[in-house]
């Protein structure tokens, strides 16, 4: 196995973050190829670079030698099958089904949070967070759902680990970017979810991603509309 993972900017790219932190947490070695965001136009450097590898032209992309896998969930599922000894999913069949269901919700849900609270690790916008909550009830409703979903799992967790299904799994990797969104926009949550966010920020792999994102200092106009409007 010779893995290469293509990712976008660590400060902004939530989908790149997910397989990266899963691979780091489980000590799955890989070569990293960072393709900086410039724009998503067909002629942009970002698009032309990635389109030469995959017809989708998006990140992340995992290459296993010359085999190409796109989409963060497909990548994580592939890794789970390639490394069954690492238990990337919960080992219990029912908890594994619950974890997959939760990840599916993240993969296709929470459109308002994604739209109005984009990830920006190096910045903190408490004022923006409050304005978004005031003006967009759909964001507030999604945050309440998110808090309820994650808190209920954390309450039922009988292990000493403060993760969604006991030990760290793909499910935690998928919700990590959402945790960083809530943290950086200073969104008030239940104490249970707040403790989980703190655990996530200090977790192996995630802590490394945050540290490297803070070093980028690469401003991408299309990812920071709230700054341009201030």
Residue 91 has pLDDT above 90, yes or no: yes
Q: Which two tokens stand for residue 89?
A: 């999913």
pLDDT at position 202, please?
97
pLDDT at position 230, please?
45
- Non-local (6+) Cβ contacts of 179 within 8 A are 196, 197, 200, 201
pTM: 0.93
Q: Where are the domains of the chain?
A: 3-86+214-223, 93-212
pLDDT at position 228, please?
47
Query: Do 4 and 62 form a contact (C-beta atoms < 8 A)?
Result: yes
pLDDT tens digits along 142-162? 999 999 999 999 999 877 789
For domain 93-212, say whether CATH 1.20.1050.10 is its number: yes
Interatomic CA distance for residues 177 and 188, integer angstroms: 16
- Non-local (6+) Cβ contacts of 208 within 8 A are 21, 24
Query: Do 89 and 79 form a contact (C-beta atoms < 8 A)?
Result: no
**Is pLDDT larger for residue 226 or for residue 176?**
176
Residue 205 has pLDDT above 50, yes or no: yes
Lowest average pLDDT, out of 50-64, 146-160, 194-208, 213-227, goes to 213-227
* Phi, psi torsion values for 48, nearest 5 degrees: -65, -35
CA 188 from chain centre, in angstroms, equals 20
Residue 221 has pLDDT above 90, yes or no: no
- The CATH class for the domain spanning 3-86+214-223 reads alpha beta
pLDDT tens digits along 177-192? 999 999 999 999 999 9
pLDDT (average), residues 36-52: 84
């Amino acid at each position: 196995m010779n893995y290469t993972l293509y990712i976008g900017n660590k400060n902004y790219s939530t989908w790149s973050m997910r397989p990266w932190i899963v691979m780091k947490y489980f000590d799955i070695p890989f070569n990293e190829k960072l393709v900086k965001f410039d724009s998503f136009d067909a002629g942009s450097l970002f698009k032309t670079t990635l389109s030469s590898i995959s017809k989708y032209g998006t990140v992340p992309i995992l290459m296993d030698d010359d085999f190409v896998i796109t989409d963060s969930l497909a990548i994580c599922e592939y890794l789970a099958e390639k490394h069954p000894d690492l238990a990337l999913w919960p080992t219990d069949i029912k908890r594994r089904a619950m974890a997959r269901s939760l990840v599916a919700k993240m993969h296709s849900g929470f459109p308002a949070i994604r739209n109005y609270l984009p990830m920006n690790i190096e910045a903190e916008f408490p004022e923006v967070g409050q304005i978004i909550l005031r003006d967009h009830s759909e964001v507030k409703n999604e945050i309440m759902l998110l808090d309820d979903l994650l808190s209920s799992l954390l309450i039922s967790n009988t292990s000493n680990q403060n993760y969604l299904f006991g030990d760290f799994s793909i499910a935690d990797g998928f919700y990590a970017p959402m945790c960083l969104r809530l943290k950086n926009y200073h969104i008030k949550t239940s104490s249970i979810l707040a403790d989980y966010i703190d655990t996530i920020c200090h977790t192996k792999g995630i802590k490394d991603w945050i540290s490297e994102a803070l070093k980028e200092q690469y401003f991408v106009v299309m990812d920071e509309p709230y700054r341009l409007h201030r």
